[in-house]
Structure 1
Amino acid sequence: MGRRILAALIVSFVLVGGPAVPAAASVVFTEDFESGSTAAWQFAGGRWGLASDGSRVLRQTLLGIEHARATAGDAAWTGYTVAARVKPTSISFGRSATGIVARAGTGDQGYLLALRPGNRVELIRSRGGLRTVLATAALTVRAGTWYGLRLRVDGDQLQGTVSGATGTATLTATDAGLAAGPVALFTDRAAATFDDVVVDSIPPPRDTQPPSTPGVPRLLEVTPTTATITWPASTDNVGVTAYWVYFGTQFYEDYPVRQVPSNAPVTLPIGGTTGYSLHFSVRAVDAAGNQSPLGQRVTFPQPPTVPRTGQDTVPPTAPGTPVVTGMEGGSAVITWAPATDNEGIVEYHVVHAFNFDEVRVRAKVPGTVTSAVVTPASIPNQVWVIAYDASWNSSRSAAITLTPTTTPPTPSPN
């Protein structure tokens, strides 16, 4: 009964590798000023220069200057995270501020993550001389104290984090006013020291879209022991990286047997199975490990053991309906009248259907043999015979129903 439930569910075993690992961010810019050079930076306003504060740092020392900036990076940068250590050395005036900028532009344009007087931090959009506070949070801000500032810009999603000795504040906002720009360090009517600037790219979102379902496989060649197939390719928003080919010999079976990189013809073994009909189907996989649905099957009969020869298209006549002519240890000996063919019969297959869903080739005998042994099983327990000629044209007999108590007919007395 357990297998019947499994059969009804048509369970497929998927042997594709483990879960995909999301893409990692990469560092696109870093500056700790230890080289003694500021060649990567462009300065506007204020008095900027290298100094020493345990290590080499960048410092802006003029207090009364608005919009003092040190800018670095690429104007085409869009999604990234900029982080730096910032130490206000003077930040006592009501309009004073210092911090970092993402998507910086001409003048004071950009998204600012600012340390402000009054123990607060702000996330600000600055554009065209107008500053709009997008988010604010309380955090102790003191001169002479290092703060870690981190500002992420991803599309219209903004997130700023400020960490200090007394805690951490996180600010988030949604704004599409500025699309791209480099990074900057800034002061407004304040003096400050800066160090350890890092810009990380934002990896693309993890791909969650599966490939399309591959097309129905096409049989290119069948031999007694192999089958060669191809199939219409899948499509994917990023790209298909592999196909899993599945094989089965009963309707409930789909076993992965081969992983291939493309839909180029592939030859697969089919020998050794007892299935009456065989089938292949294909599943596509992309680089993120997303899997397509399992495609439709191509189904074909169990081939003869004799290689196909000739181009004849005329099938044999049907073999005679099998009859039980004896018993051997609980198995039925069946015989049938031979089929005829213009080329000659090369092989007979004795097919047994039982247990409602099992259909198997119980015997393959040469074309000169017209008997076989079949063990009865549970109902419906039908047996029929297929005749093959050299070109693999075939014909099928009528079926006989076996029972565990089937016995041959009693001979008439002479």
Structure 2
Amino acid sequence: MHVRRTHRRALAAAFTAGATATVLAAGLGSSAFAATVFSDNFDDGNSSGWSKSGGTWSVVTDGSGVLQQTNRDSELARQFAGQTSWTDYQVQARVKPQSFTSSSSLVGLAARSSSSTRMYRLALLGSGRAELQAVNGSQITVIGSASTGAATGTWYTLRIETSGSTIRGFVNGTQVGSGSDSLVGAGRIGLVTAYASGSFDDVAVDSGGAGTPSTPPSTTAPPTNPPPTTAPPTNPPANWPTPTGSQKVDATVQVSGTFDGGLKRYYGIGDGGQSESQDPMFVLAAGATLRNVVIGAPAGDGVHCEGNCTLVNVWWEDVGEDAATFRGGSAYTVDGGGARSASDKVFQHNGSGTVTIRNFRVENAGKLYRACGNCSTSYQRHVVLDNITARDTDALAGINTNWGDTARFTRITILDDPGRDTRICVKYRGVAKGSEPTEIGEGADGVNCLYSSSDITYR
């Protein structure tokens, strides 16, 4: 008997500008930055929407909800949010150092993080100084610094402003550094510790709009089936491949360019469960391609695409949290491969633009695709599903019709489903952070869910 699963947890975080934007405007003084495009005060008790890299993080109560990193022996612990396409903006947060292990230990805030080790950082040091830094791996360039007497157990308000090549840092409203630097032109925000523990609260991003998404979502028309970037096979493969070998992964693999795994199995990140605090197995930079990879269990939070990306012949043997999350770009392609044992969903679409999934197998899953219904920024999102074979899967796609999402289906084959329990297109009403999307319907409508009976074959 086919048993339909229920939605188990909140999707990634979202926000409402409202009162938070008013408070920020009052506290930031005169600035060219006007629109609040992201905020999180952790009062909802979770860190949904943030991506962890290293450290031990949890939301705790310190007067109100705060995000805390407690592993003071971690060489570098980071949480990232936002989009890799963000350019000119200011990010502000309250930061409390809890402990330093040395004078060079730090607790701080990051802007324009183009990767986990490339960013601008405003750091409170164990020496009592604050430094505005350009970070490029192990190479640290100090743009400016000042003595602040930073003490453990005390809250400080940190702010970084980026405008073109001009980078400025402020502690409690006082500028501690300013200079011109061209290391990175765009990237996400981050919360950072190094050989220290600390707490973070009241994070907000304001922008004049250059390169930064805004709400409400856009109304751009979705593309029709995008042209393939590689020649697809005629049909999804009938069987899961036999890995050519196995390799345990102890830390997230950063991919730029093309990573070809030769159909080797990669495993070892996370605990195989649904926790959102798990690190991803692979993080793909904008424009990267991951191909010929078998992802075994545990696989943490699977694959993160930080910009446009291509996944070719990638197989997930046992999806834990999500198989892949599409974040900072506008066009993502999954060509070939398959996924199974996803208790919630396979592909999570948090960024804008279109996800194309073709020549793909899915088995024993909740949803093959879900457009985020309560992320930090509300986009109009689109998905194109072509030449899909599904077995024991509750739904192929979930979209938010109130934001103009669309899902287009062609050459869909549903196996072993005589009762036709697999739902093709499920419609939701997208909501702001702290709320849960509401299911409002399903089925083809010629507007959001685009398919006809001839597009779906049951066998």
Higher strand share: 2
Pairwise same-fold verdict (TM > 0.5): no
In the superposition, the TM-score normalised over structure 1's length comes to: 0.42
In the superposition, the TM-score normalised over structure 2's length comes to: 0.38
